[in-house]
Chain A
Amino acid sequence: QKEVEQNSGPLSVPEGAIASLNCTYSDRGSQSFFWYRQYSGKSPELIMSIYSNGDKEDGRFTAQLNKASQYVSLLIRDSQPSDSATYLCAVPDDNRLAFGKGNQVVVIP
Chain B
Amino acid sequence: NAGVMQNPRHLVRRRGQEARLRCSPMKGHSHVYWYRQLPEEGLKFMVYLQKENIIDESGMPKERFSAEFPKEGPSILRIQQVVRGDSAAYFCASSAGLGASYNEQFFGPGTRLTVL
Number of B interface residues at 8 Å Cβ cutoff, please give it.
22
Residue interface bits B81-107, CB-to-A below 8 A is 1, else 0: 000000000010100001000111111
Residues of A within 8 A of B104 (CB): 34, 46, 49
Q: Which residue of A lies closest to B45 (CB)?
A: A96
- Interface range on chain A: under 10, 10 to 19, 20 to 34, or 35 or more? 20 to 34
* A51–B106 CA distance with the chains assembled, in angstroms: 17
Cβ contact within 8 Å between B59 and A96: yes
Of A31, A43, A49, which one neighbours B107 at CB under 8 angstroms? A43
Residues of B within 8 A of A36 (CB): 107
B74 within 8 A of A: no
Cβ contact within 8 Å between B43 and A99: yes
A95 within 8 A of B: yes
Cβ contact within 8 Å between B48 and A96: yes
B42 within 8 A of A: yes
Chain A residues within CB distance 8 Å of chain B: 31-32, 34, 36, 42-46, 49, 51, 88, 92-102
